[in-house]
Structure 1
Amino acid sequence: MADYDVVIIGGGIAGASLAAEIAHHCRVLIVEAEDRPGYHATGRSAAFWAESYGGPKVQPLTTASGPWLASPPPGFGEKSFLSRRGSLTLARADEAHLLEAFVADFAHSGVRMDSLDRAALEAQVPGLAADIVAGVFEPDCQDIDVGGLHQAYLAFARRAGAGVALRAPLVSARATSQGWSLVIGENTVTTRRLVNAAGAWADAVAHIAGVQPLGVQPYRRTVVQLRTSPAPPVDLPLTLGVKGDYYFKPEAGRLWLSPHDETPESAGDTAPEEIDMALAIARFGEVVDWQIEAVEHRWAGQRSFAPDRLPLIGFAHDQPGFFWFAGQGGFGIQTAPAAAKLGAAILLGLTPGAMLRAVDGQLYDPARFA
């Protein structure tokens, strides 16, 4: 007998959500190298649910996750993990074609999008720069309680019998006739299946296991918290540039601002760079005429993508006991409920539920890189 049926490497939102889905069915261990789960990408999220974010091939996972996040099932608490925000994608006159293409990408998706003229934009964003002439409003965009969601998944998994090992890096992984023999920290365990939910370290975990890496690349994303004059309106929507060169949103009377940077780097405990913070502030000054009174806080996290920027959910083509659950980029939290249910169905051979009716799991099969 193996010690476990499934060992999941990584305790962020990916590993925690998958563990919660499968722990009632089998013996599960979540392995986390840090002192606490979710220290890296999950704990540094900008915290929103936007159906268009991630593109049209990610959108089905996001849309499918919405009802679960709004009204979680028994065992996940009685409060919604979402709160109303709305999102607004802005364009200057020379960017009109990009805005048209953005809307066309989601024309048959069911995502609600309303085109706004200049007057309507001014009502949404006070002090808007004169050269921004068009925008698209998504009324269904929501803020996400990321910390609450992550902790709810971990608590549910634990109650279902899952173990959590902290400060336990994966040292080695050897395939056997029964599954895997793993050295985790100073301990050896065996498992029938090994799940790679290691985020930025996904390719490193594959290498340790002797599985072909798939080119999962971490990218640094920077966020700064500003005190501004005027203070951001409470109902200010998540505001994005159609070129993907900035976004900002209100948070507890302050403004969270990102230059939407994607700087490739090695997996690690990343930190913001001065040039990225300066770039964010410069771009913000080109969108509104607000005064920045202070930069109160700054942080960076790593978003990890497969080469085609779609998630990896499925067994490795070269090792049937190795399961990829990675490459979730900046959309891993907003897609967590549906992605976890899809992962559980493939991993354990379960029948996909109604949530996945509009999700084509083949899009995310790692075999596409075979």
Structure 2
Amino acid sequence: MTFDFAIIGAGIAGASLAAELAPHASVVLLEAEDQPGYHSTGRSAALWHETLGGPFIQPLTTRSFDALNDGGFLSARGSLSVAEPQHIALLDEMQAKFAGTVALQRMSYEDIRARVPRAKPILAAGLLEPTCADIDVAALHAAVLSRFRRAGGTVETGFRVEAIERLAKGWRVSAGDKAIEATTIVNAAGAWGDVVAKLAGAEPLGLQPCRRTIAQVRVDGDDVPADLPMVTDVGGSFYFKPEGPNRLWLCPQDETPVDPGDAAPEDIDVAIAIDRFESVTDWKVLAVERKWAGLRTFAPDRLPIYGFDPIISGLFWCAGQGGIGIQTSPAAARLSAAILLGQIPEIDPAPYSPMRFC
């Protein structure tokens, strides 16, 4: 059997696109690991966060809300961007960028303290984004995979692509002694996106995987509010969010360039996260209970890539989502599916096209 589409990568991007395509075409989803979502998707602290990624990402995020909310994958959280005195201008820039599109509330230190009980005065100002919500990533990923299978889609796990061969009318994709044929290949391989592109004879687009570290810590006292917003430094040096009684997830917002692979946390990054957290709050970390790292893969301009390769026909890019892949997955999947099926997308695809690199 020759499939209409072979999607390489069964993380949230590939799985969501597969679920959109399956009612209209024959689709096979190829995953290198023994389970889908092992790398970036399974290690995310995802929020639905309209300002994350900037104004070109916001339309994808906004148009994903209904699908995420109606599916029961969101729970209220709120997000608070905070600034030390030297970074207050960054709050002004953020507020100006999203004027008229995202509701943001300016916060004084006293306002911040009301929501973050042990915030230090160094957090001089902030912007509250009250509409932010936690995303149940595992449930969302499972749901799109289930929808894909119910529509007749095929999932092949343990399919680590080793060769991609051009045929007269399509492609043969091989992994060891296994092979499938498809008319169109979708490159949703995440950190391995440029690797897959080269196997298909395409020019790499400069995708860069970056390590991102998270530590779950236990802190002193019993005053971590259950409704504590996700608190993010507008200068890009930390974020933290609650994770149960007296527990938080800390992140130093690291973006360490690495090769594609199974990311592991570095002790120094965990130590930096703790130091930055304790420098802006009076909570003391009593124990590190868990730590992990994932990969966020960026295109050179930090925008995702959705569209056909400018040179190699039959090769479609669905890559470079960085840290916004989960919150934008419903809209990005609809956008990509519309292009692949020859329909008119609901969002202008031009900002995300691979043609911008030509």
Deviations 1:101-126 (A, max 9, x none): 11111113x21100011211110101
Q: What is the rounded CA distance, in whole Å, between the counterparts of 1:347 and 1:186 in structure 2?
A: 29
Counterpart position of 1:191: 182
Deviations 1:15-65 (A, max 9, x none): 100000000111100000101000000000012111011111111100110
Counterpart position of 2:35: 36
Q: How does 1:70-109 map to 2 (within 5 A)?
A: 70-72=69-71, 80-108=72-100
Counterpart position of 1:47: 46
Deviations 1:331-366 (A, max 9, x none): 0000000000000001111233xxx3xx32110001
SS at match of 1:212: coil
Question: Where in structure 1 are there 5+ consecutive unaligned residues?
Answer: 73-79
**C-alpha deviation, 1:230, in angstroms:** 2.8
Q: What is the rounded CA distance, in whole Å, between the counterparts of 1:150 and 1:162 in structure 2?
A: 15
Deviating more after overlay: 144-153 vs 130-139: 130-139
Deviating more after overlay: 183-192 vs 63-72: 183-192
Counterpart position of 2:21: 22
Count the aligned residue pairs.
356
- In structure 2, give the amino acid aligned to 1:65: S
Matched, 1:64 2:66: no
Deviations 1:137-180 (A, max 9, x none): 00000000000000000000001011000111111111222011
SS at match of 2:124: strand
Q: What is the rounded CA distance, in whole Å, between the counterparts of 2:57 and 2:277 in structure 1?
A: 27
SS at match of 2:117: coil
Deviating more after overlay: 29-38 vs 175-184: 175-184
Deviations 1:169-205 (A, max 9, x none): 1111112220111213321221100000000000000
Moved over 6 A (4+): none
Deviations 1:261-284 (A, max 9, x none): 000000000100011111100100
Counterpart position of 1:75: none
Q: What is the rounded CA distance, in whole Å, between the counterparts of 1:114 and 1:201 in structure 2?
A: 39
Counterpart position of 2:191: 200
Query: Pairwise CA RMSD of aligned residues?
Result: 1.0
| Contact 1:117–1:135 (8 Å) recurs in 2 | yes
Q: What is the rounded CA distance, in whole Å, between the counterparts of 1:120 and 1:130 in structure 2?
A: 11
2:324 corresponds to which of 307, 331, 346 = 331
Q: What is the rounded CA distance, in whole Å, between the counterparts of 2:197 and 2:29 in structure 1?
A: 17
**C-alpha deviation, 1:99, in angstroms:** 1.0
Q: How does 1:219-258 map to 2 (within 5 A)?
A: 219-231=210-222, 232-253=224-245, 254-258=247-251
| Contact 1:167–1:185 (8 Å) recurs in 2 | no
Counterpart position of 1:277: 270
Q: What is the rounded CA distance, in whole Å, between the counterparts of 2:120 and 2:215 in structure 1?
A: 21
SS at match of 2:95: helix
**C-alpha deviation, 1:317, in angstroms:** 0.4
Counterpart position of 1:361: 349
Q: What is the rounded CA distance, in whole Å, between the counterparts of 1:113 and 1:173 in structure 2?
A: 47
Q: What is the rounded CA distance, in whole Å, between the counterparts of 1:209 and 1:320 in structure 2?
A: 10
Question: Where in structure 2 are there 5+ consecutive unaligned residues?
Answer: none
Q: What is the rounded CA distance, in whole Å, between the counterparts of 1:337 and 1:185 in structure 2?
A: 33
- In structure 2, give the amino acid aligned to 1:343: S
Counterpart position of 1:163: 154
**C-alpha deviation, 1:131, in angstroms:** 1.7
SS at match of 1:319: coil
**C-alpha deviation, 1:132, in angstroms:** 1.4
**C-alpha deviation, 1:92, in angstroms:** 1.4
2:144 corresponds to which of 137, 153, 165 = 153
1:137 corresponds to which of 123, 128, 147 = 128
Counterpart position of 2:163: 172
Q: What is the rounded CA distance, in whole Å, between the counterparts of 2:242 and 2:353 in structure 1?
A: 36
- In structure 2, give the amino acid aligned to 1:204: V
- In structure 1, give the amino acid aligned to 2:77: R
Q: What is the rounded CA distance, in whole Å, between the counterparts of 1:57 and 1:47 in structure 2?
A: 19
Q: What is the rounded CA distance, in whole Å, between the counterparts of 1:179 and 1:158 in structure 2?
A: 23
Deviations 1:225-270 (A, max 9, x none): 0011234210100000010111110112220110000000000001
